[in-house]
Structure 1
Amino acid sequence: MFMEDVLTFKFGGLAWLFLGVANTDSLLYDEEFTNYLQQYPDNFRYDKALSREQKNKNGGKMYVQDKIEEYSDGIFNLLDGGTHIYFCGLKGMMPGIQDTLKRVAEQRGESWDQKLSQLKKEQTMACGGLLSH
């Protein structure tokens, strides 16, 4: 959406990537993503969760779900507006992310189970990042 020069398509939404790895030296495509941030500041966000280098608000390791919680208001506002959310990675990482989304939804007075069912029905949630159109 940012790399290909397609004359018939200009992406006007927001792509928000949450990338989780252990260390900075494990970041894939970091230079490209950083360039997208500079070239498309209104259309691209890039947040890294570096579990062995960063600490979450409780002093523990920083994971993607910690970044999701940190930006939960923005994420839930985007989801309410029809944003698509995709999760990619090891299946074993999903319970932590799901638990965080459920906790945040409940703090907002919402049922995550109902919201998840609605997102799946609308095909706006699939197996990292947010894509707003």
Structure 2
Amino acid sequence: SQLATGTGIAPFRSFLWKMFFEQHEDYKFNGLAWLFLGVPTSDTLLYKEEFEKMVEIGGENFRLDFAVSREQTNAAGEKMYIQTRMAEYKEELWELLKKDNTYVYMCGLKGMEKGIDDIMVDLAAKDGIDWIDYKKQLKKAEQWNVEVY
């Protein structure tokens, strides 16, 4: 999973470009890349057409979700931030996070991480897991990578 706000998308763009646009004889990406991109307004969605083209090329290997905070709301009428959008898929995301081949890259605004922690605490607890401890394990295994400011 890749989570980015605004210009935090830059490092992920190169990962995704390599996965879906570059042709390599000895490598074809066959996992799942899932990008959650959050911006304030739809006219600030960087690389939108490029990412949509990746969806076409990637098929089931690429999922794309936008969170446009000043234009979208969830069912409860709350502003649509990355963590709000992720909450719509929280059970599926938790199942992915329990796999040892899931890697999360988060880059952007600091508030995003707390929002995601808030979602995961309850999900992990249902499985008898302390989310904060589990997240530390993910970090140690280099599966949870965060660059927030």
Q: Please say whether Structure 1 and Structure 2 have the same fold, judged by a TM-score greater than 0.5.
A: yes
Q: Which runs of 5+ in 1 are unaligned?
A: 129-133
1: CA distance, partners of 2:61 / 2:72? 26
Q: Which residue of 1 aligns with 2:141?
A: 122
Structure whose residues are more often helix by fraction: 2
CA distance in 2, matches of 1:66, 1:104: 15
2:10 paired residue number: none
**Where do 5+ consecutive residues of structure 2 fail to align?**
1-18
Residues 55, 31 of structure 1: CA spacing in aligned structure 2 closer, same or farther, 3 A cutoff? same
Counterpart of 1:13?
A: 31
Equivalence for 1:58: 76
Report whether the alignment pairs 1:94 with 2:94. no
Contact 2:82 2:112 (8 Å CA) reproduced: no
Q: Is the 8 A contact 1:69 1:104 kept in 2?
A: no
The equivalent residue for 1:74 is: 92
Kindly state the Cα deviation for residue 55 of structure 1 after the two structures are TM-superposed: 0.5
Of the three residues 59, 67, 70, the one matched with 1:41 is 59
Instruction: State the number of aligned residues.
Output: 128
Q: Which stretch of structure 1 is more off in the superposition, 110-119 or 41-50?
A: 110-119
User: How far is the alpha carbon of 1:41 from its aligned partner?
Assistant: 1.4
Percent identity of paired positions between Structure 1 and Structure 2 = 45
Equivalent position to 1:112, from 110, 117, 131: 131
Q: Offset at 1:103?
A: 3.6
Q: Hey, what does 2:5 align to over in structure 1? A: none
Secondary structure at the counterpart of residue 127 of structure 1 = strand
Q: RCO (CA 8 Å, sep 6+): is it higher in 1 or 2?
A: 1
Match of 2:34, SS state, is: strand
Q: What is the RMSD of the two structures over their aligned residues, measured on CA atoms?
A: 1.8
- Contact 1:23–1:52 (CA under 8 A) maintained in structure 2: yes
